């Protein structure tokens, strides 16, 4: 791990948490990697207190696991975990749009930014640029989440998407390195945001369904490959 710039006192806890999350999502901190508060504090040249707070924040988000004696460890997610994440996202989001009048408030002025995120995410997916895709994909869904009236649901979905990328990133890189087969990556962001803008609930539902089906299809392919490798 290498810090990507200076860390100021005023945002120390959040900056450390963000930096570590970025390392995990970039695949530079692989699942199972262990470290202690002392190691991270020395890495960033800061005191132990904000580091400990940042690590507990990431643990609460399900990104790290902690052990009183061994410190912290990047959490490992199984294919079954990934399937459960996709199912949970699908159930919650489809439920939101079934009763969107009471649970979702789309602000037209907010769609311009979402459209930009969508365009960049699709461009990255088509070119197989995983690092760029992860950043824009998370921003796209986070900005869509601002339209959800219940902030607890929005926060839950945001955490699930980070966890899903944690599961996916090192497996995708193992498949073909930094330049991926675009067919592996979902790129329906623009289609989804335009359906939302039109108020086309049927198309929103269909696009979301394709999103979850894409994730489950990839999980099936991973499982088949792992079963083949074991035989």
Average pLDDT score over the chain: 88
**pLDDT 10s digits, 107-145:** 888 899 999 999 999 999 888 888 899 999 999 999 999
pLDDT of the residue at 176: 63
| pLDDT reading at 7 higher than 80 | no
The dihedral of CA 138, 144, 146, 150: what is its sign?
negative
| pLDDT reading at 4 higher than 50 | no
- Supply angle C-alpha 140, 57, 171, rounded to 5: 55
Tokens 């986070």 sit on residue? 142
- Supply angle C-alpha 64, 96, 162, rounded to 5: 20
| pLDDT reading at 8 higher than 70 | no
| pLDDT reading at 100 higher than 90 | no
**Token reading at 139:** 């921003």
Q: Of 7, 2, 17, which Cα lies nearest the Cα of 46?
A: 7
Beta bridge partners of 67: 71
**Token reading at 83:** 């399937």
pLDDT of the residue at 94: 78
**pLDDT 10s digits, 147-174:** 999 999 999 999 999 999 999 998 888 7
pTM of the model: 0.86
Phi, psi torsion values for 18, nearest 5 degrees: -65, -40
- Supply angle C-alpha 22, 28, 33, rounded to 5: 105
As a whole number of Å, the CA-based R_g of the chain is 19
Mean pLDDT of the 58-64 span: 93
The model's confidence at residue 27, banded by pLDDT at 50, 70 and 90, is confident
Domains, in order of start, for the chain: 9-74 (1.10.10.10), 79-230 (1.20.120.530)
Would you say how long the chain is, in residues? Answer: 231
Give per-residue burial for 139-154: e unless 16+ CB within 10 Å, then b.
Answer: bbbbbbbebbeeeebb
Q: How far apart are CA 156 and CA 145, in angstroms?
A: 10
pLDDT of the residue at 37: 94
Q: How far apart are CA 103 and CA 149, in angstroms?
A: 5
pLDDT of the residue at 127: 86
């Amino acid at each position: 791990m290498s810090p990507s710039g200076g860390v100021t006192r005023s945002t120390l806890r959040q900056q450390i948490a963000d930096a570590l999350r970025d390392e995990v999502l970039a695949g530079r901190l692989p699942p199972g990697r262990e470290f202690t508060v002392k190691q991270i504090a020395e890495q960033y040249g800061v005191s132990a207190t904000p580091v400990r707070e940042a690590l507990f924040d990431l643990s609460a988000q399900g990104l790290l696991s902690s052990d009183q004696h061994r410190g912290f460890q990047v959490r490992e997610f199984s294919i079954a975990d990934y399937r459960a994440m996709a199912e949970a996202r699908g159930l919650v989001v489809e439920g939101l749009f079934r009763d969107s009048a009471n649970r979702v408030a789309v602000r037209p002025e907010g769609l311009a930014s979402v459209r930009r995120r969508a365009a960049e995410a699709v461009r990255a997916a088509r070119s197989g640029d995983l690092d760029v895709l992860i950043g824009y994909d998370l921003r796209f869904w986070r900005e869509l989440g601002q339209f959800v009236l219940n902030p607890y649901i929005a926060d839950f979905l945001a955490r699930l998407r980070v966890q899903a990328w944690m599961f996916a990133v090192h497996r995708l890189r193992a498949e073909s390195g930094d330049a991926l087969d675009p067919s592996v990556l979902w790129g329906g962001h623009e289609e989804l945001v335009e359906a939302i803008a039109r108020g086309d609930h049927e198309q929103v539902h269909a696009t979301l369904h394709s999103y979850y089906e894409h994730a489950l299809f990839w999980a099936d392919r991973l499982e088949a490959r792992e079963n083949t490798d074991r035989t």
